[in-house]
Amino acid sequence: MRVDLVNLLGSGNSPSPSLLAEWRVGAILEAVAVRDARSGQLWLDIGGQRHPARVASGEVAGPQDGERLQVRVLRNSPVLALETVSTRPTESSAEGAVIADALRKFVPRQQNPALLVANLAWIAQRKSGVETLPRSVVQAAAHLWHALPEAEALGDPKALEAAIAKSGVFLEANLAAHRGPPDPRVASDLKTLMLTLQRALQASGAKPSSTHSDAAGHAPVPTSRGPLTTLPAAPATLAVLEEPTQQLNELSRQADGAIARLTTVQISNSAPDPAVQSMLIDLPVRHEDRAAMLRLKIERDGSSRRDASGAESWTVEAAVDLGAIGALHAKVTLIGKRIGVQLRAESPAVVAALAQRADELETMLAESGLEVDRVVCLHGMPVGDAGVRPARLLDVRA
C-alpha cells in the first residue's frame, strides 16, 4: 500500500529541515494511522507529529484508526511517498511490542559488518599504527578475526554447519537452552566475541558517537522478502587515521554497528510465518588476508505450494561481494528429490567460468541421487525491490 503525505511543506506542523533531510529514499519510518471519526480523514503520526495523508495505491479502506505501520520512503519530491512494509495493531501482543521496540532501537544503528572485518584484517596483519592501540583491544580483535571461518573450508558441509551455528544468530537461544558448566560454543560465538571487543573498546575510553563515516556504512534492512542482496566489501578505514583515539572511536562505532546489524537479523528471523520458515544469516568469512560478508537465506515452504507428491520445498540462497569483479549469487531449490540451481554474477568472465563447469556440477548432483531440474548461469543480480537500498535509517522517536 502506498501513502502520500499531502501539503507537508506548507502545513503548520512541518518537520524540521534536518528531519526532512533524513527522510531519504529507502529510509524506514514508524507511523501510527489516525482517522477522524466523522470524515474518515487519514493522518499519519510520525515522530510525534501528525501529517495529513492519502492512500495513493488504489486501496479504498486504507489503514484503520490506531493501526501501527512500518513504512519505507519511496520518494521525497514533489510529495513524500511512503510504502507500507508491515502493519500491526497498536494492541499487539507482548512479543510483537518487544520486536517493534527492538527494531526501532537497532535498525537505525545497524551498519555493514564488512567495515569491521576489514579493520580486523588490518589489525591482524600488524600494520603500521597497530602498536599504538591498547593491548586488550588488539587481543580481542585478533580473537574475533581468527574465529571467522575460512572461505575455502565452507565447501565441507560439517564446516559450514559449524560456521552457521557460531554465526551469532543463535547465541541467545544457546544461552537459554544450556544449563550447567559454560558451553565452549558460546565462548567462540561471533556475537560473543563482538561483545568482548566492544567491552574492551569501552574500557579503553572509546566513544562511538565521536566519529562518523559514510563509507559503505549503512546497509539495507535485512528482510526475508525479495532476493538476497550482497553487502559490499569495504576498506580498512583505520589505515587513514593517525590518532589512536580516532582509531578507537572508529572501531567502536563499527563494532556497535555490526552488533546492531546482527541483532536486526535475529529480529527479522523471529517474525512468525505459519507457512514459510525463513532464516537469514550474515556470515563474515576470511580469505587469506581479506574478508567478505557471505549472506545466506534458508527457507522451508510448508504451505500448499508443494508438488503432487506433497514433498516440502527448500530454498537456499547465497550472495557475496567479490570486490573488484562484482557480486556472486546462488539459489538452490530442492523439492523432494528434484533440485534446481541458478548461478548469477556481475562479471561476464565469472559467468563464463561458471558455465564451463555447469555440466560437472550437474553430474555431481545426479550421482548424489538427485533429479536435476536445471543448472543455469546468468549475468546480473536478481531484480530486487528498488525501494530497498543502502540509506541512513532514522529512529523517529529520537
Q: For position 343, what pLDDT does the model report? A: 96
Shared domain check, 148 and 67 = no
Confidence at 133, pLDDT banded by 50, 70, 90: very high
Answer whether residue 105 shows pLDDT above 50. Answer: yes
Residue-wise pLDDT for 228-251, tens only, equals: 889 988 889 998 888 999 999 999
Q: For position 40, what pLDDT does the model report? A: 79
Answer with the one of 59, 91, 123 that is the final residue of a domain.
Answer: 91
Cα–Cα distance measured from residue 150 to residue 137, given in angstroms and rounded to the nearest whole number = 22
Q: For position 29, what pLDDT does the model report? A: 77
Phi, psi of 348 (to 5 degrees): -60, -35
Any residues with CB less than 8 A from the CB of 135 and at least 6 apart, and which? none
Cα–Cα distance measured from residue 248 to residue 254, given in angstroms and rounded to the nearest whole number = 10
Shared domain check, 229 and 118 = yes
What's the Cα-to-Cα distance from 328 to each of 5, 185, 349, rounded to whole Å?
A: 39, 30, 12
Shared domain check, 144 and 69 = no
Q: Does residue 65 or residue 182 have the better pLDDT?
A: 65
Answer whether residue 263 shows pLDDT above 90. Answer: yes
Other CB atoms within a 10 A radius of the CB of residue 24 amount to 15
Task: Residue 42: give its domain's CATH number.
Answer: 2.40.50
Number of domains in the chain: 2
Other CB atoms within a 10 A radius of the CB of residue 237 amount to 23
Shared domain check, 158 and 38 = no
Cα–Cα distance measured from residue 340 to residue 330, given in angstroms and rounded to the nearest whole number = 11
Residue 128 lies in a domain: yes
Nearest residue to 345 (alpha-carbon basis) of 370, 324, 366 = 324
Q: For position 388, what pLDDT does the model report? A: 36
Shared domain check, 119 and 57 = no
DSSP, res 180: S
Confidence at 216, pLDDT banded by 50, 70, 90: very low
Confidence at 397, pLDDT banded by 50, 70, 90: very low
Confidence at 368, pLDDT banded by 50, 70, 90: very high
Q: For position 204, what pLDDT does the model report? A: 94
Nearest residue to 366 (alpha-carbon basis) of 338, 344, 342, 343 = 338
Confidence at 393, pLDDT banded by 50, 70, 90: very low
Confidence at 372, pLDDT banded by 50, 70, 90: very high
Cα–Cα distance measured from residue 118 to residue 285, given in angstroms and rounded to the nearest whole number = 11
Q: For position 99, what pLDDT does the model report? A: 72
Cα–Cα distance measured from residue 174 to residue 172, given in angstroms and rounded to the nearest whole number = 5
Cα–Cα distance measured from residue 292 to residue 117, given in angstroms and rounded to the nearest whole number = 8
Answer whether residue 11 shows pLDDT above 90. Answer: no
Residue 392 lies in a domain: no
pTM: 0.72
Segment 67-89 shows an average pLDDT of 74
Nearest residue to 85 (alpha-carbon basis) of 385, 395, 391, 390 = 385
Shared domain check, 138 and 76 = no
Answer whether residue 142 shows pLDDT above 80. Answer: yes
Shared domain check, 191 and 46 = no
Answer whether residue 380 shows pLDDT above 70. Answer: yes
Residue-wise pLDDT for 315-362, tens only, equals: 999 999 988 899 999 999 999 899 999 999 999 999 999 999 999 999
Q: Does residue 365 or residue 104 have the better pLDDT?
A: 365
Answer with the one of 242, 274, 306 that is the final residue of a domain.
Answer: 274
Residue 308 lies in a domain: no
Shared domain check, 255 and 125 = yes
By percentage, how much of the chain surpasses pLDDT 70? 78
Buried b (16+ CB within 10 A) or exposed e, 144-174: bbebbbebeebeeeeebebbbebbbbbbeee
Percent helix, strand, coil in the chain (nearest 5)?
Answer: 35, 25, 40
391 burial level (CB within 10 Å; 0-12, 13-18, 19+): buried
- Helix (H), strand (E), coil (C) string for 331-384: EEEEECCEEEEEEEECCHHHHHHHHHCHHHHHHHHHHCCCEEEEEEEEECCCCC
> Residue 172 half-sphere exposure, CB side, CA atoms within 13 Å?
6
Shared domain check, 145 and 69 = no
Least confident piece of the model among 118-132, 246-260, 352-366, 384-398: 384-398
Q: For position 271, what pLDDT does the model report? A: 62
Residue-wise pLDDT for 92-103, tens only, equals: 456 666 777 777
Confidence at 65, pLDDT banded by 50, 70, 90: confident
Residue-wise pLDDT for 187-206, tens only, equals: 899 999 999 999 999 999 99
Answer with the one of 259, 274, 289 that is the final residue of a domain.
Answer: 274
Residue-wise pLDDT for 290-304, tens only, equals: 899 999 999 887 654
Residue 331 lies in a domain: no
Residue 290 lies in a domain: no
Shared domain check, 194 and 69 = no
374 burial level (CB within 10 Å; 0-12, 13-18, 19+): exposed
Residue 232 lies in a domain: yes
Q: Residue 122 belongs to what domain range?
A: 114-274
Q: For position 390, what pLDDT does the model report? A: 37
- Residue corresponding to grid cell 546492531: 260
Answer whether residue 365 shows pLDDT above 90. Answer: yes
Cα–Cα distance measured from residue 302 to residue 18, given in angstroms and rounded to the nearest whole number = 46
Summary mean pLDDT of the chain: 81
Shared domain check, 172 and 72 = no
Shared domain check, 121 and 84 = no
